[in-house]
Amino acid sequence: MLSAPVRRIVAAVTLPAILALSSCTAGPGHAAHARQVAAGPPSPSAPPPTPSTSPSPTAKPAPGTLEWYVSQVPTFPEAPPPQPVQLPATGPAPIWHRLPTEQKVAFITIDDGGLARPPAVADFIWQAHIPVTMFLNSPAAEEHDVYFRQIEVAGGVVENHTIRHTSLAGRSYDHQKQEICGAADKLEALFGKRPTLFRPPFGEHDTTTLQAAHDCGAKAVFHWTETVHEGKVRYQTPEKVVHPGDVLLMHFRPALMDDLLAALKAIHRAGLTPALLEDYVR
Ligand SMILES: [Zn+2]
């Protein structure tokens, strides 16, 4: 049994190891990649995986540690093979509050990036196999690119949330296109993949937004169905349950570890499994 300090060290070397691995196995399908890799040791030279998903009953991890968060993640039913949704052949990008699917999945999205970046998030996402989509503002992505790249290597996908995070509704096409395409260009340069999903700041949009998003490469624009803040899920419907296809919104804020855990528990209570939006919008 490893002592707590040693366990922390093991967790700390996990991401450099997977970063090294990803550089030689980069390819499509982040979630599948992460899950495949997670089935075995990160690399031949890396230490064995920390047995944090099945803690010994005699040595429970202390609340608030990475090991504790991982130990609290419920066991989900296996995710169904994704059936990608139908996209319009032409015209503006569709906007969805929830993904139009009956499959028993829900989606975790994390927005912004400039305010706070809890350091354990990448390891949590990696060790608990949490599929996440990050809607980032491009200046925050540029300033903290190493942080977001670590989450990307752990299985997360970077998507577009404009440059300046101002409301787009009512603004000219040229203004909206500059905000959306400008961020897409920067994120593509930083992460090597052009965003295919867009979320307007505050969810505020008009028909011009959907046209500009399409013209900048977005296949779909996403609102959300639940928000998560300081470890609490806020529902927009009275029955307080996550439905198939729901999109949960949280932010890069100080309580992101609690928000991720609360989202996972709510998805599990609903009998659903977390899945990756990009596996359904192709
Ligand atoms: Zn935002």
Q: Ligand 1 center to residue 274 CA distance, Å?
A: 21
Q: Ligand 1 center to residue 175 CA distance, Å?
A: 18
* Tens digit of each residue's pLDDT (9 = 90 or more) over 102-123: 999 999 999 999 999 999 999 9
In our burial notation (b when 16+ CB lie closer than 10 A, e otherwise), range 240-278 reads eebbbbbbbbbbbbebbbbbbbbbbebbbebebbbbbbb
Q: Ligand 1 center to residue 202 CA distance, Å?
A: 6
CB 101 within 8 A of CB 83: yes
Q: Ligand 1 center to residue 9 CA distance, Å?
A: 33
CB 180 within 8 A of CB 196: no
Q: Ligand 1 center to residue 165 CA distance, Å?
A: 6
Q: How confident is the model at residue 151 (pLDDT cuts 50, 70, 90)?
A: very high
User: What is the CATH code for 95-280?
Assistant: 3.20.20.370
Cα–Cα separations (whole angstroms), residue 11 to 2, 23, 39, 117, 192: 12, 20, 16, 17, 27
Q: Ligand 1 center to residue 200 CA distance, Å?
A: 7
pLDDT over 50 (residue 20): no
Q: How confident is the model at residue 237 (pLDDT cuts 50, 70, 90)?
A: confident
CB 275 within 8 A of CB 99: no
By percentage, how much of the chain surpasses pLDDT 90?
77
Q: Ligand 1 center to residue 187 CA distance, Å?
A: 16
Q: How confident is the model at residue 83 (pLDDT cuts 50, 70, 90)?
A: very high
Q: Would you kindly state where each structural domain of the chain is located, as residue ranges?
A: 4-72, 95-280
Separation between Cα atoms, residue 44 and residue 87, nearest integer Å: 42
Q: Ligand 1 center to residue 113 CA distance, Å?
A: 9
* Tens digit of each residue's pLDDT (9 = 90 or more) over 199-218: 999 999 999 999 999 999 99
pLDDT over 80 (residue 15): no
Q: Is the dihedral of CA 98, 193, 184, 119 positive or negative?
A: positive
